[in-house]
Structure 1
Amino acid sequence: MAEQHHGLAIRAADRTIRLKWHRLRRSLADPLFSSPILRRGAELGASMELDFRIRRDHGFVALHDETLARETTGSGLVSLATADDLRHIRVLPGNHPPMLSEDIAEMLAGAHPQALLQLDMKDNLDAIGPRGIDHLRYHFADATASLIISARDLDLIVAVKKSLPDLRRGIDPTSPLLRILKDEGAAAAEAMLHQDILGPSEPDTIYLSWELLLAAADQGLDLISVAHDLGRAVGAWTFNLADPQNGFDAAEAKDFSRLVSLQPDQITTDEPDATERAWTKLCGGAETQSKIGSGMT
């Protein structure tokens, strides 16, 4: 019987590394942010990610852009659209209705214990305001075990921490770390990561680009070990195969193998199923059957 691949995780050196479904996709051919994939991921226990934008009525919608024009059949600012407005437009490609925060909360009810959905907040605290925070608390208070929230705005993360202290939090200091690594070196980058981890946002997970992780390793700095030593998980983003059907080329195999050797807790990809197949093939089928490890974020 052929081995099944669900794009949940890979195994390496007796360690499970989760594969996070970037923008709720199992393949680049999938539409963005669709409810069938969220439902399936919740059922399987997948790690998933979607972008969140504030609406005029203080709820949220799963969209990336500040405006509706590129991603949907609508127009104008997302922040000026109500739930009713958004139910009358469609996400492109796919022609499906945008997912609202209220819908997402319902879909997470009864989710697999290992299912984890990252809500990546694209607006800052000033735009979201107290009523947006109240909306999150009202709709997601019973789903905190299945959620992690992330944002560039650390003030927003702190505000969410105060309102929903049991909700896991993630931060992404990739851009400043890249600058510091280039301009000031590995020691300064390590010091900055320490500062971010121990700051007021108290993150559970640190999101770092895979290119940064390899660049730091080239300078003798293992950023993942730094985070692990402080009790934090690390998610590496976003590794996509150039040719998902045929797996890794030589350069991708080298980079992905190096990344895996650094032992991130998860790797984000728009091609989780293909990535799992490619890793299984690369390793000759050994130690790669998908299974979810306990407690990973």
Structure 2
Amino acid sequence: MTKLLDAQGLEISHAGHRTRLKWHRLRKRFADPLFSAEVMAEGFAAGASMELDLRVRADGGFVVLHDKELEGETTGYGPIAKKSGSDLRDIRMKEGARPLILSEDLAGMMQATHPAALLQFDMKDDYEAIGASGIEHLAEHFRDIAASVIVSGGCLDLVMAVKEKLPHLLRGIDPTDKLYGIREASGWKAAETELRADLRGPTEPDTVYLHWPLILAAAKDGFDMIALCRDEGKRVDAWTFTLKDPEAGFSEEEWRSFSALMALKPDQITTDEAPATERAWRRRISG
């Protein structure tokens, strides 16, 4: 488990630009357990940017899990969308036999935070699955929390529903899959047009989440996605860059990719190895 006094893994400053390192799935290090309440508490105290995934339950509430089915991450079985909160109370995470974090529990964990801390709710279901009852649940439990929250998803209808019900929460969009498809079918110019439309659209996103290889592929062909987003007043999170060998640091291939990404000045990079990434960067920069 990580220690509170170890404040590494929060950001990298380079060429006058600050890039935050976001803790993917509430892990500061890959060795941390998935969706750890202890690491989340540490991040709240240290002012970290963190991400967790939410899956909708049958009763309109949510649980902090990534997969649709319980089997992969927990001791349970079957689709989460068919389980109520009470059904999930006795199920445990496979790592450490920890209880699952339900949305009702999560709200209670977010009453005291560092002012710089930010928690991303990455909604893994679309609006059709979540519906009005799910949005009402979010409004009931997260209207008066102290923590700064950004709600993100690939479904623009869902982000719009959050905007209407919880306008004080930040919003994020992830058009990555759509942009990959448009690039493949019609080229970068069409992808640029679509991205610009999303940035100017009614969701009014604070942050755009983009797969880092997509960002670099576009830049190689002369399309700077990050600059476009910045020109529209939006932040960019480049996901998910995780060192294969945290102790050794960057391989040559990883260094080429990461340094090229940093040159484009993303506002945030999602990683499962935040402190190791910061250390590896410092070692490379210092020679």
Q: Map 1:28-177 onto structure 2 (within 5 A).
A: 28-143=30-145, 146-177=148-179
User: Residue 20 of structure 1 contacts residue 49 of structure 1 at CA under 8 Å; is this kept in 2?
Assistant: yes
Structure ranking higher on relative contact order (CA contacts 8 Å, 6+ apart): 1
**Aligned equivalents of 2:185 and 2:199: distance in 1?**
21
User: Residue 144 of structure 1 contacts residue 166 of structure 1 at CA under 8 Å; is this kept in 2?
Assistant: no
Deviations 1:172-229 (A, max 9, x none): 1112212333443332221111011112222111000110111001011100010000
**Aligned equivalents of 2:265 and 2:273: distance in 1?**
19
The TM-score, its normalising length taken from structure 2, stands at 0.94
How big is the alpha-carbon RMSD for the aligned residues of Structure 1 and Structure 2? 1.6
- 1:178/1:74 Cα in 2 relative to 1: closer, same or farther (>3 Å)? same
User: Residue 27 of structure 1 contacts residue 270 of structure 1 at CA under 8 Å; is this kept in 2?
Assistant: yes
User: Residue 20 of structure 1 contacts residue 272 of structure 1 at CA under 8 Å; is this kept in 2?
Assistant: yes
State the SS of the aligned residue for 2:192: helix
**Aligned equivalents of 1:77 and 1:4: distance in 2?**
38
State the SS of the aligned residue for 1:242: coil
State the SS of the aligned residue for 1:40: helix
State the SS of the aligned residue for 2:144: helix
**Aligned equivalents of 1:154 and 1:269: distance in 2?**
25
Is 1:243–2:245 an aligned residue pair? yes
- Higher mean alpha-carbon deviation, 224-233 vs 56-65, is at 56-65
User: Residue 203 of structure 1 contacts residue 232 of structure 1 at CA under 8 Å; is this kept in 2?
Assistant: yes
**Aligned equivalents of 2:89 and 2:269: distance in 1?**
33
- 1:34/1:195 Cα in 2 relative to 1: closer, same or farther (>3 Å)? same
The TM-score, its normalising length taken from structure 1, stands at 0.91
Q: CA deviation at 1:6?
A: 2.1
Alignment partner, residue 290 of structure 1: none
Q: CA deviation at 1:4?
A: 5.5
Aligned length in residues? 283
Alignment partner, residue 295 of structure 1: none
**Aligned equivalents of 2:6 and 2:222: distance in 1?**
38
Which runs of 5 or more structure 1 residues have no equivalent in the other structure?
Answer: 286-297
Q: Say which of 213, 216, 233 aligns to 2:215.
A: 213
- 1:129/1:186 Cα in 2 relative to 1: closer, same or farther (>3 Å)? closer
**Aligned equivalents of 1:182 and 1:258: distance in 2?**
23
- Higher mean alpha-carbon deviation, 188-197 vs 144-153, is at 144-153
Which runs of 5 or more structure 2 residues have no equivalent in the other structure?
Answer: none
Q: CA deviation at 1:267?
A: 0.1
Is 1:24–2:26 an aligned residue pair? yes
User: Residue 186 of structure 1 contacts residue 220 of structure 1 at CA under 8 Å; is this kept in 2?
Assistant: no
State the SS of the aligned residue for 2:8: coil
Deviations 1:76-114 (A, max 9, x none): 221222222212111122321111111211111121111
Q: What percentage of aligned pairs have identical amino acids?
A: 53
